[in-house]
Chain A
């Protein structure tokens, strides 16, 4: 039990003294997961709207694939992305293996189904008359989409939090395509696993605490935005 308590104190200490390694690892965590979430929003929100509103043959197959994608094991994604990015793989010439870019790709793949699924469910709950009214008033596809986003903002923000939560906490894919290289691809989750395997449980706990602070801070802000009462 003292590990948890010590870990907490150590985390605060590390952050207050600005331990360079912890700061670097935390900054990289934010960059990688933030960018991956951003990409997943760009892909997932429009896709979610499309799937929610448009009917086409095979729609239910696609929807069930998306829903399955929400439970994709990150380590499997990491393995498959590795197979593509490995030197001798089809995209080996890009030299992306063991770089933050590879981690962003893998994390975006993990987050996009999550975002799509939650957004789609949210958009489907909207009153269908809204769409018809907006379109009848002459809205373009883009304007239509923006209206949907605003109306479904609870679900959209839930989608953001789901996507971010999925990738900021995952370790399997980051380990595989990133390699946990110090100063280059080490993020909070992979650093924690490494410290655990070394037996440094207190350091691992401290890193975990930093990650939890970070995740809570971001999610708190997003929740504030989500729960803001609609005026009128």
Chain B
């Protein structure tokens, strides 16, 4: 484009048309990933591919934002290098943590965590107590009409 190398007083200027165009591409890519995920949940089970497509497209979108919106395409390469290095450090952190946790994963204790389990047990106990003593929950009061049908329904279900 003719405007691509427009220079202002202190630096390169990104043309408006380019910004709008890139935004349109980004919106399209977003819609694409949403469509693929809906596909996965509702119609076809593409499983792992959904993750790869979603994260791959996200990376493409991020690259576009960095290069064009954030001006890295026209900046000194050292800045891109530094930014990429920080992403690399995050990946390093994640990979070591993953390696560690996978080695211990088979030993994960099954079931809910202790406090969660205690809470669930307590809720069970109070729900049983409430039911046994004949009180019903607020919601069930609304089903006053259906109350006498309930035992019959249950008997039919068994």
Whether chain B is bound by chain A comes out as: no
Residues of B within 8 A of A (CB): none
Residues of A within 8 A of B (CB): none
